[in-house]
Structure 1
Amino acid sequence: MSQLPELVIAHGTVVNSSGRRNAHVVVRDGRIEQLIDATEPVPAALRTIDAAGRLVVPGGVDGHCHVAQVTGRFRTLDDYRTTSIAALWGGTTTIIDFGIPRDAQETPLAAALHKKELARESRCDVALHGSVVSWDETVPWQLEQLAAEGVRSVKMYTTNRGTTMADGDTILKVMREMVRLDGLTYIHAEHDPIISDCTRQHADDGRIGIEHLHRTRPELAEEISVKETLAMAEYTNAPVYFVHQSTPGAVDLVTEARARGLEAYSETCPHYLTLDETVYGSAFPEWYACCPPMRSAETVAALNNRLAGGAIHTVSSDHSCYDLSQKRERTDDIRAMPHGLPGVETRMPVTFTAMAESGSSVEDFVEVFAAGPARINAVPAKGAVAEGFDADLVVFDPAEERTVDGGALHMGTDFSPFDGRTLTGWPAVVVSAGRVVLDDGGFHDPGAAGRFVARNGFREHLSSAAASAPSNVPAAH
């Protein structure tokens, strides 16, 4: 057996969220064994990749993906094989999916275990969030079982009445349990009574087609739901994470709560940073059917300012793989069409381009793309190019431009909301658990090599990360 390391990435500029250095990255047995100053000779290895003139960043951690998701009569068209391959093409080496009950008969525990079984086909590493729709006396036990499985977060929706919505009593009770189990509460925050009333008024006026989506879900509905949820989090002392925030007002509410000592986090998505509500007047408005909808150009600019200022903690894809035939079934009625966009493959270049345009550094990008999602979601050994961490790595040239061709992507659908856009920050080399899966020779399918990642307790992980972080890895904040 060879004593040589399997891989060395030589002469690259290694960028973590805390800083950068020129180094050779030595990989052995799926882990980063050593970082050697680039002025030193390149160590011998079974394979060497020259990264001179390029950046080496940690593989992405996408904290918000929906794989093989069933919602009502619609099912996304992907599976773990497809979505994980697309993730790797896009520089993401770990995805976090949701075990959301498919109907009232499926329990939160069963939903998560079902997804864990499906994830055996994944090409990249996978973690899971649980989800609770309604409270009963079995929920505390189910959440204990999920925690024992390494599922340490639970998502709840404050809208979608009749399908995935959890009422206020359920949210508060689950928050208490997540505190007890050292977990994290995820919230889709949109005020259901406001949305229901606004949608009904538009329907009564005959303005219920996809071109009116952005008018039926006002910014106020998102912000008042964030405010109410923060009050419950403050009352229960529960850490809370808000998915896909689309308004600066929602982000500001989280910032203010953090200033009062709450453990609260803001996530946004690439489409909210780059697309505005004028897309609903385009030739293909169904390409942009998602909730919350796209906002005004002024809101988009302000959201980018919040990201540049560090108020947004993660950028996730909210990947949902419907195709145009599903989207076009009922473009006449937004209440009957599926909402969600494919984006796991384009998260890296869209986010990098948006952040570069707003003056953010590569370190800032690494924080929201990999380091922050790994730390906040308590995913061990992810989010940094550092000794002892998993060898999940991306090599790219920050100046290289490519134009998105939705039909040439790998997400299992026939469109991209970013089709035709010129972006920078595409991966040239992707290493997942020490395996080179993307290079100049194309994609190299590793097979069903992805691992299920059991997550740590939320506060336990932050304390451990703060105590043990090496100098080139950010401490918790």
Structure 2
Amino acid sequence: MDTLVRGGTVVLESGSFRADVLIRNGKVAGLVQQRKSTPFTGQVIDAAGALVLPGGVDAHTHIGITFGEFKTRDDFATATRAAAFGGTTSLLEFAFPEPGEDPGEAVERRISQASGRAVIDFGFHAAIVQRADADALAGIERAAKLGAPSVKVFTAYRGLMMLELGDILAVMREAARSRSLVMVHAETEAIVERASGELRERGIADARHHAQARPAIAELDAARSVLRLARESGATIYLVHVTLPEVAEEIGKARTAGVRAFGETCPHYLLLDESVYTRPHGERFVCSPPIRSAEAARGLWRSLGSELTGVHSDHCCFDRAQKKVHASDSTRIPPGLPGVETRLPLLISAALSGRLPMNEVVRLCSSEPARLFGMPGKGSLLPGMDADLIVVDPRRRGRVNGLHMSTDYSPFEGMAIRGGIETVVAGGQLLVSGRRGAFRTLHPPAPTEGVSRPIGRRLFLAGLAGGAGVIVFGDGLPSGLRSWLEGPLGELSPGDGFHFYSVTGSIPSWDRARWRLTIDGLVDQPLSLGIDDLLAARQQRVKADFHCVSGWSVSGVSWLGVSVPTLLERAGVRPAARALRFESADGAYVDFLDMTTAQQPEVIVALRLADAPLSPERGAPARLVVPFYYGYKGVKWLRRITAVDSARTGYWEARGYDADARIRH
């Protein structure tokens, strides 16, 4: 049966607009113009006056794990149930190997533990702990083939998790070969051991001094070390639970230097400060790294959306009794805080309070993790995506209480909160309901209709999961809706088989009389060419299949335009030029080609597609075509080509895509 989420304001990472969401066969089938007179005979979910967001993606949870002498109180049934009440419809958990297991075997074991129990979609990160021997390294690729997009390592917890830096470098090299992302818990263990030892000698090792036991310099030192290793190895690196703006700054520096570096933080580092350790029962707030100063928290807010591209829970469901056992020694208190249910409500509340835009909440908590960790169909509500969504009443006020996690406390207990998640849909099925402040009910799927499933790996780009297109009623989508379409997945345009992509959510306008393509940089004769200048040049036809890394292709595409070598010859490229920088008129998208690649005769600035002028959606008036590369190298709405001394990091490479975009079949 079709479902219509009616009357709400849809929020995507690129903006918001009023539209109904049509769901069919577990997918978003269309964004529908709101018309009171439109008849609909299927299931209707009332979203009048509410916000409709993509379901949350939590990429950092710890469910049913043992840490030292303690085991978390939850399992996949209870944890995913709590996640659903908190608006999270997909999560990524860790597969820590048991003795004798390699990473691939650990992933297989954890998939079997979650299958049939989770009520939302799930996936796993691989992990290597204590020793990176040949079997462990070989297991990285096996884990990747099972769907694990990443492998986690620790510079902390000697004897339990920690790897020496030499082992981490070996992991990074293997991960780069397997195209897996490396997640790092970054704290230098030697610094932590010295600091905690000194506190113990002074008899002040309790929770009140936890922040001193794991000092900020331990995190900063480890972050700098592993970022250098990532640059050496060519690996993509992701720093988990960043607590310091200085670490975020190091991520930004590494990215500028060409490292594919990313970072996340957590709600407790944004919304709490180290004074929590002086409260009664401060042991309940012990986590690693510790909660830092209020000043550090303010710095993290400023880093969101730039150096830090995710906010995740780092959920560890210990209870008060477990935290109390070793309250006098913070190094023995089980580290971690419960948060899988509170993450998204807290960020939504922050947006409604004006701390960040609501579309940034979507980006940080849904879209960006879905892209980075290769989760097909997640993180957006554009047609063809999985029908995972939440309905939020922005008018509600309340406090954090009455939670569903398998623990007896929350670090945010009693905190005032704005907005309320009232309805959750996962895979097209109603999972949580209860509008207008009524008691919310979980609707678990029947065993034969399970919502949850392991999430397959589609590393570097979350792609179209099915062949759904846009379905509209009446006169179709509002005319302004097209300008809000977001990357990486947009509408399926009728007729030509291409999907529409825009990283800014808009299509640049252009005027034929004033438009110019600039060619500058390390050239003898800078050029400023109008559209008529390009059409008057010798035209070259390139016919090739077009491939997108998200999985779709268009066969036998015919492009017509001017070869890049012809333009370079006219401009007189200097010997110092080793690469070309291509800039889009959207103001955000740039990419690079090394000069050897750019000089290939089939690399063209295309002006026509199938013997017709390029349409706005396809990049009018001019776009780059590199037929032997995946489509993300083909810069649309091209306005500038600059000869430079070296190739740097392009738009999608900075977000985890492979710099080598060559098509290999």
Query: TM-score of the superposition, structure 2-length normalised?
Result: 0.68
Q: Secondary structure at the match of 1:402?
A: strand
Alignment partners' CA distance in 2, 1:415 and 1:447: 31
Q: Distance in 2 between matches of 1:447 and 1:226?
A: 45
Aligned residues of 1:66 and 1:320 also touching (Cα < 8 A) = yes
Residue 456 (str. 1) matches residue 449 (str. 2):
no
Equivalent pair of 1:30/1:433 in contact (CA under 8 Å): yes
> Per-residue displacement from partner, 1:261-304 (whole Å, max 9, x unpaired)?
22111100000000000000101202201011111111111212
Q: 1:419 aligns with which of 410, 413, 421?
A: 413
Confirm whether residue 107 of structure 1 aligns to residue 71 of structure 2.
no
CA distance in 2, matches of 1:467, 1:304: 25
Gaps of 5+ in 2: 435-439, 466-485, 492-499, 505-651, 656-665
- The 3 A distance-change label for structure 1 pair 43 and 178 is farther
Which amino acid counterpart does residue 19 of structure 2 have in structure 1?
Answer: A
| TM-aligned CA distance change 1:473 to 1:31, over 3 Å | farther
CA separation of 1:42/1:474 partners in 2, compared to 1, >3 Å: closer, same or farther? farther
Residue 148 of structure 1 is matched in structure 2 by: 145
Shift of 1:145: 1.4
Cα gap change, 1:60/1:468 in structure 2, threshold over 3 Å: closer, same or farther? closer
CA–CA separation in structure 1 for the residues paired with 2:245 and 2:349 = 20
Q: CA RMSD in A?
A: 2.0
2:433 is aligned with 1:436: no
- Give runs of aligned pairs for residues 25-424 of structure 1, distance below 5 A: 25-39=21-35, 41-42=37-38, 44-102=40-98, 104-120=99-115, 121-133=117-129, 134-307=131-304, 310-357=306-353, 359-405=355-401, 408-424=402-418
CA 1:409–1:359: 2 relative to 1, 3 Å? closer
Cα distance in 2, alignment partners of residues 298 and 244 from structure 1: 17
SS at match of 1:63: strand
Q: Distance in 2 between matches of 1:388 and 1:463?
A: 6
Q: 1:163 to 1:45 in 2, by over 3 A?
A: farther
Q: Which moved more, 1:157-166 or 1:130-139?
A: 130-139
In terms of mean alpha carbon deviation, does 295-304 or 51-60 score higher?
295-304
Report if aligned partners of 1:241, 1:265 keep a CA contact under 8 Å in 2: yes
The 1:306–1:399 alpha-carbon spacing in structure 2 relative to 1, beyond 3 Å, is farther
Q: Give the deviation of 1:353 after TM superposition.
A: 2.6
Q: 1:168 to 1:130 in 2, by over 3 A?
A: same
Contact 2:488–2:503 (Cα < 8 Å) also in 1: no
Aligned to 2:620: none
1:209 Cα deviation from its structure 2 partner: 0.8
Deviations 1:209-233 (A, max 9, x none): 1111011111111111111111001
Q: 2 CA distance for matches of 1:286 and 1:152?
A: 34
Give, in whole Å, the separation in 2 of the partners of 1:108 and 1:29.
Answer: 34
Q: Deviations over 1:45-72 (max 9, x none)?
A: 4210121211100000000010111122
Structure 1 pair 257–447 and aligned structure 2 pair: CA distance change class (3 A): farther
Return the alpha-carbon distance in structure 2 between the equivalents of residues 199 and 288 of structure 1. Answer: 17
The 1:374–1:196 alpha-carbon spacing in structure 2 relative to 1, beyond 3 Å, is same
Cα distance in 2 for residues equivalent to 1:425 and 1:264 = 33
Call closer, same or farther: CA 1:285–1:42 in 2, change over 3 Å.
Answer: farther
Is there any run of 5+ residues in structure 1 with no aligned partner, and where?
none
Letter in 1 for 2:423: V
**CA 1:42–1:276 in 2, change beyond 3 Å: closer, same or farther?**
farther
Alpha-carbon separation, structure 2, partners of 1:385 and 1:155:
30
For each residue in 1:215-266, what CA deviation from the matched residue of structure 2 results, as whole angstroms up to 9, or x when unmatched?
1111111111111111001111111111100110011111111122221111
Q: Contact 1:10–1:51 at 8 Å: present in 2 too?
A: yes
Q: Deviation of residue 415 (structure 1)?
A: 0.4
Question: 2:32 is paired with a residue of what secondary structure?
Answer: strand
Percent same amino acid among aligned pairs?
A: 35
Letter of the structure 1 residue corresponding to residue 175 of structure 2: M
**Counterparts of 1:412 and 1:474, CA distance in 2:** 40
Rounded to whole Å, the distance in 2 between the matches of 1:409 and 1:262 is 40
> Deviation of residue 152 (structure 1)?
1.9
The 1-side partners of 2:444 and 2:230 are apart by 43
Aligned equivalents of 2:389, 2:335: Cα separation in 1: 32
Q: Work out the CA distance in 2 between the residues paired with 1:322 and 1:447.
A: 30
CA contact (8 A) 1:268 1:316 kept: yes
Counting helix residues as a fraction of each chain, which structure ranks higher? 1
Deviation at 1:472, TM superposition (A): 8.4
Aligned pairs, number: 468
**Given the superposition, is the C-alpha separation of residues 201 and 223 from structure 1 closer, same or farther in structure 2, using an over 3 Å criterion?**
same
CA deviations over 1:115-158 (Å, ceiling 9, x no partner): 11111110000010000011111123312211111112000011
Distance 1:474 1:384 in 2: 13
Q: Is the 8 A contact 2:87 2:345 kept in 1?
A: no
Shift of the 468–88 alpha-carbon distance from structure 1 to 2, 3 Å rule, reads: closer
- C-alpha deviation, 1:398, in angstroms: 2.4
Evaluate the alpha carbon distance shift between residue 321 and residue 151 of structure 1 in structure 2; reply closer, same or farther with a 3 A threshold: same
**More RCO (CA 8 Å, sep 6+):** 1
Q: Quick check: 1:101–1:131 contact (8 Å CA) kept in 2? A: yes
Describe the superposition over 1:167-209 as per-residue Cα deviations: whole angstroms up to 9, x where unpaired: 1122111111111111111011111111111111111111111
Q: Which is higher, the Rg of structure 1 or of structure 2?
A: 2
Deviation of the 1:356 alpha carbon:
4.5
Q: Distance in 1 between matches of 2:297 and 2:92?
A: 26
Structure 1 contact 58–392 (Cα < 8 Å) conserved = yes
Match of 2:662 in 1: none
